Amino acid sequence: MQTALRTSVPETELASRANSAPHARVAREERPLHVSGLSLNIRGLRKSFGDNEVLRGIDLHIPAGQFVAIVGKSGCGKSTLLRLIAGLEKIDAGSISFGDEVQAEDIRVMFQEPRLLPWARVLSNVEVGLGRDRASDDAQLRAEKALTEVGLVNKRDQWPSVLSGGQKQRVALARALVSRPRVLAFDEPLGALDALTRISMQRLLERVWRDQGFTAILVTHDVSEAVTLADRVLVIEDGRIAQDVTVNVPRPRERRSVDLADLEGSILRALLSGDERI
């Protein structure tokens, strides 16, 4: 499967070029062009830190290639869920299974901080993302391709310290993408960016997701970002899934459209209703 994916690189390149003529693909905007993603099955997932039970039984199925956003108040366990999916924490009880055999390179995480190595040039930072293939002959070529996808190939020989916050995050995205992951988990990747950079990063995320067809799991505190990007929004409250909302708005979505605003409003009301009771 991995090798099949890698030989399909030129196709995705074509797809990203096609993207510059949006009218040509309106008809199939709904779904990614080709689904390379993995489906996810979570059963009875629990996790506690000491006495604090963060996740109290999560049951969830995510179809391959879906874009899922997870929202909730801070401390609700959304980041913990993401870290469990990415294998960064140990599961206390329950299970997470993927639709296919997975390798380390199939699942990638992007954090709120870019976490670039300050002592490595942009290109070598992207090469880090290749995992075990770092030493292969085409490592540099693939890293360059990933940088091209995020529009930063001209910065390949720069040190990370000279990049802006948005550019650093794009390099981190290229690093996550370079191994052609089948599940990409985002832990508030845009949280530290200014409003304008956020919008262009959201477009970039949506574009690479459509081009590559990975399963995307986005943890965010921004409900408007969640409804703009995702097929489905999960609201987590007290360690459980409180709401599972499908976003049936065709893509490309117009930010601030009435449909999205309605959806955002109802999710926000549900999120805040608990506060009123207190």
Return the DSSP state at 113.
S
Contact 189, 113 (CB under 8 A): no
- CB of 179 or CB of 215, closer to other proteins: 179
**What is d(CA 218, CA 221) in angstroms, rounded to the nearest whole number?**
10
Instruction: Tally DSSP H helices, then E strands, for the chain.
Output: 9, 9
- Residue span binding other proteins (CB under 8 A) among the ranges 27-35, 94-102, 115-123, 247-255: 115-123
- Residue span binding other proteins (CB under 8 A) among the ranges 19-27, 92-100, 125-133, 253-261: 125-133
List the interface residues with other proteins, window 159-188 (CB under 8 A).
Answer: 159-162, 175
List the one residue out of 207, 270, 199 whose CA is nearest residue 233: 270
Work out whether 120 is an interface residue with other proteins (CB under 8 A).
Answer: yes
Which of 86, 123, 177, 234 binds other proteins (CB under 8 A)? It is 86
- Residue span binding other proteins (CB under 8 A) among the ranges 14-22, 69-77, 116-124, 222-230: 116-124
Residue 147 phi, psi (nearest 5): -65, -35
Work out whether 117 is an interface residue with other proteins (CB under 8 A).
Answer: yes
Task: State the binding string over 25-64 for other proteins (x if CB under 8 A, else -).
Answer: ----------------------------------------
Contact 211, 145 (CB under 8 A): no
DSSP-assigned letters across all residues of 68-82: EEEE--TTSSHHHHH
Which residue is associated with the tokens 């070529």? 141
Which structure tokens are listed for 181? 């992951």
- Residue span binding other proteins (CB under 8 A) among the ranges 16-24, 41-49, 127-135, 204-212: 127-135
- Identity of the amino acid at 181: P
- CB of 14 or CB of 104, closer to other proteins: 104
Contact 126, 110 (CB under 8 A): no
Write down the least CB distance from residue 109 to other proteins, Å: 6
Task: State the binding string over 207-246 for other proteins (x if CB under 8 A, else -).
Answer: ----------------------------------------
**What is d(CA 123, CA 209) in angstroms, rounded to the nearest whole number?**
22
Query: Which residues form the interface with other proteins (CB under 8 A)?
Result: 86, 88, 104-105, 108-109, 111, 113, 115, 117-120, 128-129, 131-132, 159-162, 175
